[in-house]
Structure 1
Amino acid sequence: MSYYQDIFHTSNWEEATYEEKLAALQTLENDYAARQGRPPCKIQPEELDPEEIGYYYEKTNEILINKDLLNGLDPEHKWAHTCNYLCVNTILHEGRHAYQNHAMNHDVHPDNEEVRKWRENNEIYYGSGSEFDMYRLQPLERDAYDYAETEMNNVFADLETKFGENQWFDYFSNTLALDKIEAEMTALKRCGLDYIQKIDALIHQRYQEKLEKEAKAKVKESFWGKSPIEMLDSFKFFKMSNRDLISEAVEERTALGEIINWKERNNELER
């Protein structure tokens, strides 16, 4: 275990300054980014909603984290005794999302089928406001949760050997486990034993529908602005499925033309 991780043990975390905690979290992210072969994210503390822990922001390649977790929470707050675990888990979890994003754009992940699911899920994503089982068990999130939990357990097992018991760790770990069980039980009732396959299949179906809708819109758009002769000539170069789309585009243009002519006639009568 790297020595920078020593600060994450409860006995050291409570004595550390804000700056020391932030520096250790940044080093943790740098370490795991190097292991995963991706650029490291900047760890950016922010004023977030009280119940919001943090998230990965792809546009700036940053992991935003609730700065109150570094400052220390009110003793009555539900996270008050688990800030060190929340911080480490969040960096590992959101860093995994950064890796997923990197894998979708670079050939670095050994499982191509999993990357395909990530790509589709990236387009059809169920946010935290969705049904909890769909959010928790969709491909991107179940991978990030499982990865972060495994690595977090490794970090704190080493720290316990070095510094003694990790106070409140079992409580935190059990909370994560109960959340997963809740999602799995809900999915089991809704989808049956093969709930993972059905969740993935639903995302795949919605992804295909989105692609078809976008393709249809693109074909129609490509014919706007063309003369009727140009549009009819285009039939020679398209398969029957696309001819149907062209016909729809012709009909839409005709209908729009009639509306415009009707408005012009009304304006003339008013004058």
Structure 2
Amino acid sequence: MHENDYQNIFMPELWQHLTFDQRVAALQVLENDHASQSGREPYQIKPMEMPDISHGGQMVAAEKLIVINAAHIQNPTYEYVALYTVLHEGRHAYQRAAIEKEGFHPDHEQVRSWKENAVFYIPSSEQMYIPYRIQPLERDANAYAKVEVDKIVSRLEQAYGKNDIFQQYASHMESETRMVDIAAREKFGDDYIAFMDHTIHKGYQVTRGIDEKKSYKISVRFEETEWSSKCVEVAASGKHQLRESLTREARGFVFSEATRLGIAPAGIQQAQSRVEPIPIAQDLERGKAFEKGRE
């Protein structure tokens, strides 16, 4: 018997006849196989009822579990979503092993980015879905799961022919990936991966107290004008230096805006200004916040 023969069970014609428990057992064999190939400890597959059908699952390192949406196992048309979830979350288990064991993963720079991302991780939410998808840990887990699902299906299709369920799944995944790419480019620019990696690195440094440089929003308004704003990064070793730096930035912005708008000296004296700290998470919601300039 070929070492990958267990994957035959993932043909839709066979999968749809399995009981729920048999499907869980097949997914556990998949996890055990990939854990063995990558040199890590296998995690237990645990189905769980979830309120949202779009939620795939999660890796729970403390309990060595891969929790998977039970609805994806119950519904035969979600077969490849279930496979993808197991492989995706299993990759997170691999990433954790790489972070904890020096030399476990050959790319040291990638491990560094995973470690920083593990400290400064962006959870999935409606507002932060794009940053969540393009952060280092998720980029890698998504890429790994896609490649491995494609390998399984390619082998099955060579043996048994094309299957419509996978084609529908693949079409959906391609559309999702394209949507994320377009949205990320619109929000963060064409080099959005470098931007995200820089943001994660900065967030890690601030979280660990390595770098006290932070972002601030400076806003100014003159009589009969709307507020205009720009974002700046300021590094200071103490409150006095920080206040001086922000005052200098605010004063400069008042004069530059007065020049742009043609405000007379008397109008400058009546200007209103304000300075607000910008959390890193808000930077991501706003887009390329680290670039200086008016909003």
Indicate the TM-score class for this superposition, using the shorter chain for normalisation.
Answer: 0.7 to 0.9
Residue of structure 2 aligned with 1:119, choices 115, 140, 143: 115
**Partner deviation per Cα, 1:27-78 (whole Å, 9 max, x = no partner):** 1000000111100000011122232221111110100112222233xxxxxx
* Matching residue of 1:208: 205
Q: Structure 2: which 5+ runs fail to align?
A: 213-236, 240-295
Using the alignment, how far apart are the partners of 1:66 and 1:194 within structure 2? 34
Identity of counterpart residues, as a percentage? 36
Which ranges in structure 1 are unaligned for 5 or more consecutive residues?
73-79, 216-240, 246-271
Q: Does structure 1 residue 93 correspond to structure 2 residue 88?
A: yes
Q: Aligned ranges for residues 1-271 of structure 1 at < 5 Å?
A: 2-51=4-53, 52-72=55-75, 81=77, 83-106=78-101, 107-129=103-125, 130-212=127-209
Q: Could you say what secondary structure the match of 1:212 adopts?
A: coil
Task: Name segments (4+ residues, structure 1) moved above 3 Å.
Answer: none
Number of residue equivalences? 210
Scaled by the length of structure 2, the TM-score of the pair is: 0.67
Coordinate RMSD, CA, aligned: 2.0
Letter of the structure 2 residue corresponding to residue 103 of structure 1: A
| C-alpha distance in 2 between matches for 1:125 and 1:84 | 29
Task: Specify the code of the residue in structure 2 equivalent to 1:115.
Answer: V
**The structure with more helix, counted as a fraction of residues:** 1
The Cα offsets for residues 97-131 of structure 1, whole Å up to 9 and x where unpaired, read as 00000100012111111111101111111111042
Q: Which structure has the bigger radius of gyration?
A: 1
Q: Which has the higher strand share?
A: 2
- Conserved? CA contact 1:41–1:61, under 8 Å: yes
**What is the TM-score normalised by the length of structure 1?**
0.73
